[in-house]
């Protein structure tokens, strides 16, 4: 089924040739986002330059019944920006202006293609910053952060994107331009801003985002501590929280993740230790000092083998560079890998890690762990070699780990989203009624099902079939039904 020529002409005309990519080779560069296991070539890529052009593009798609998928920097790890065959990708890469920084009201208004870190850069001169900090903050865009309700290392203390976005200008799936939320955090009526935030691009496309800015903390203290076991490190996390301390971040890396990160950025991690914790405290100097002393005591009490305290902003940056580069750095120690994302109750960290290690041994695959230990958000990285034919086994292991998280009372995804990757696991976490309600909300925004279809909610077509090996149904063989 190819794209209808009339529809194609109308969609191309909505923007004009400079903002359209429809060469069959060039469009292949848009086949996948950060999750390369799923690839679909879009028919047309539109790269509008302003909100009105986004609205025109969506309207043209809507009028012609053509599915469309929004794309920011394409760094997502759940296939949320996977194109639809014969469909349109709307790239927000050219909507990248910081429209306003309002230091008095501590707000900034930005376009969706602005990167997370550029917001902080724009606000820094006023002693302000944008708090959510996903590990990909230097490249991921705020539009994608809104779609995924992204977190980051510091969401333990400061919350997720939803806690920092006041309002969004949005193009709805029929092309209408509306504003959800407002300048004040208190809005009357149903919280449509809240509904939209984290909807993974299924309810529309943001074109303008008003974010809250926070005052840069008076001081920040960061330490890197090595532990003889993952379990000991896990207990340190529980003890810190039990002591009434709310750290800005508590991150854990296991031995494989440390090895990869150290190889990539030489940040001063100890290669070979079973586990390392990064603990960061921020706030008023006196409070920070007092709590930092407590944290050090707790580390020592759990057999900490080395404690490195960042003595300068450069050293602190190096520690974070190591942590934040860890995902991508795993590419150095393995030809291929899956990044998993799940949540467990913090108290079950040691247990889940033990089970993951057992599952890895059973599958004969290595699993590296990098995670936001403070809130139990795990990122197991399943290492494999596609060339050695390990893909399927790795995929199964990765999926089983996510489902293990649900089994232990957690969640399928902490921050990477459901996207394409986990849509079929949704029934493990939600009952039929839950899913039906979600579907109704989605239908209210997008009755035609054109806006990022196939993501988040399981569909029979999505979850019933596996690609590659095509096995005809008996009814097909007998000529009763036809699948394609």
Partner 1 sequence: MTTPAGSADTNLPQTGPSAFDEHHPPSRELLDDCVHCGFCLPTCPTYQLWGEEMDSPRGRIYLMDLAEKGEIGLEGPLRQHIDACLGCMACVTACPSGVQYDKLLESVRPQLERNVPRTPADRMFREAIFALFPYKRRLRAAALPGALYQKLAAVPAVRRLAAKLPGRLAALESLLPPVTVREAFATLPVHTSAVGERRGRVALLSGCVQDVFFHRVNEATVRVLAAEGLDVLVPRDQQCCGALELHAGREDPALARAKRTIERFERLDVDHVVTNVAGCGSSMKDYAHLLADDPEWARRAKEFSARVRDVHEVLAELGPRAPRSPVPARVAYHDACHLGHAQGVRTQPREVLRSIPELEVLDIPEAALCCGSAGIYNMIMPEAADELGRRKADNVRSVEPAVVVTANPGCLLQIGKHLKDGTGADLPLLHPVQLLDASIRNVPVPRS
Binding site for partner 1 (CB under 8 A): 21, 23, 25-26, 28-34, 36-40, 45, 47, 73-75, 82, 85, 91, 93-94, 96, 113, 115, 136, 138-140, 263-265, 325, 327-329, 331-332, 335-337, 386-387, 391, 395-396, 398-399, 402, 420-425, 454, 461-463, 465-468
CB of 464 vs partner 1, minimal distance in Å:
9
Q: Which is nearer to partner 1, 256 or 298 (CB)?
A: 256
Q: Which is nearer to partner 1, 72 or 198 (CB)?
A: 72
Q: Which is nearer to partner 1, 26 or 105 (CB)?
A: 26
Q: Which is nearer to partner 1, 63 or 321 (CB)?
A: 321
CB of 90 vs partner 1, minimal distance in Å:
12
136 phi, psi to nearest 5 deg: -95, 25
Q: Residue 416 in contact with residue 76, Cβ under 8 Å?
A: yes
CB of 126 vs partner 1, minimal distance in Å:
16
Q: Residue 327 in contact with residue 370, Cβ under 8 Å?
A: yes
CB of 484 vs partner 1, minimal distance in Å:
10
Q: Which is nearer to partner 1, 238 or 411 (CB)?
A: 411
Q: Residue 59 in contact with residue 74, Cβ under 8 Å?
A: no
CB of 403 vs partner 1, minimal distance in Å:
8
Cβ partners under 8 Å of residue 405, min gap 6: 342, 343, 344, 352, 378, 411, 412
CB of 244 vs partner 1, minimal distance in Å:
36
CB of 207 vs partner 1, minimal distance in Å:
15
Q: Which is nearer to partner 1, 115 or 162 (CB)?
A: 115
Q: Which is nearer to partner 1, 52 or 465 (CB)?
A: 465
Q: Which is nearer to partner 1, 44 or 295 (CB)?
A: 44
CB of 388 vs partner 1, minimal distance in Å:
11
């Amino acid at each position: 089924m190819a794209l209808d020529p009339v529809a194609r002409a109308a969609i191309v005309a909505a923007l004009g040739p400079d903002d359209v990519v429809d060469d069959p080779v060039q469009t292949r560069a848009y086949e996948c986002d950060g999750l390369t296991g799923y690839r679909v070539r879009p028919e047309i890529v539109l790269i509008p330059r302003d909100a009105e052009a986004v609205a025109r593009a969506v309207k043209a798609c809507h009028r012609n019944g053509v599915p469309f998928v929004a794309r920011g920097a394409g760094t997502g790890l759940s296939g949320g920006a996977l194109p639809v065959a014969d469909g349109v990708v709307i790239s927000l890469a050219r909507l990248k202006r910081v429209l306003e920084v309002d230091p008095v009201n501590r707000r900034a208004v930005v376009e969706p293609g602005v990167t997370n870190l550029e917001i902080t850069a724009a606000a820094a001169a006023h002693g302000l910053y944008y708090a959510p900090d996903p590990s990909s903050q230097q490249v991921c865009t705020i539009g994608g952060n809104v779609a995924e309700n992204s977190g980051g290392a510091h969401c333990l203390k400061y919350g997720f994107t939803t806690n920092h976005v006041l309002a969004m200008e949005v193009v709805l799936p029929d092309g209408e331009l509306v504003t959800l939320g407002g300048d004040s955090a208190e809005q009357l009526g149903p919280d449509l801003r809240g509904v939209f935030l984290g909807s993974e691009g299924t309810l529309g496309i943001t074109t303008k985002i008003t974010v809250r800015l926070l005052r840069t903390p008076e001081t920040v203290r960061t330490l890197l501590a090595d532990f003889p076991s993952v379990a000991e490190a896990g207990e340190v996390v529980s003890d810190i929280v039990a002591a009434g301390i709310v750290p800005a971040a508590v991150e854990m890396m296991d031995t494989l993740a440390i090895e990869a990160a150290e190889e990539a950025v030489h940040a001063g991690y100890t290669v070979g230790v079973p586990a390392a914790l990064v603990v960061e405290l921020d706030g008023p100097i006196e409070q920070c000092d007092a709590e930092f002393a407590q944290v050090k005591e707790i580390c020592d009490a759990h057999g900490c083998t080395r404690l490195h305290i960042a003595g300068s902003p450069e050293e602190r940056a190096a520690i974070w560079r190591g942590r934040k580069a860890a995902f991508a750095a795993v590419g150095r120690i393995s030809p291929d890998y899956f990044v998993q994302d799940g949540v467990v109750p913090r108290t079950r960290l040691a247990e889940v890690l033990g089970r993951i290690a057992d599952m890895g041994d059973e599958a004969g695959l290595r699993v590296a762990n990098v995670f936001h230990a403070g809130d139990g958000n795990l990122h197991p990285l399943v290492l494999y070699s596609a060339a050695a034919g390990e893909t399927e086994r790795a995929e199964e292991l990765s999926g089983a780990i996510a489902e293990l998280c649900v089994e232990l009372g957690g969640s399928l995804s902490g921050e990477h989203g459901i996207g394409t990757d986990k849509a079929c696991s949704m029934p493990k976490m939600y009952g039929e009624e839950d899913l039906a309600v979600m579907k109704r909300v989605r239908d209210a925004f997008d009755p035609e099902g054109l806006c990022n279809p196939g993501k988040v909610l399981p569909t029979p077509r999505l979850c019933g079939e596996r690609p590659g090996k095509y096995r005809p149904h008996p009814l097909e063989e007998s000529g009763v039904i036809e699948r394609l």
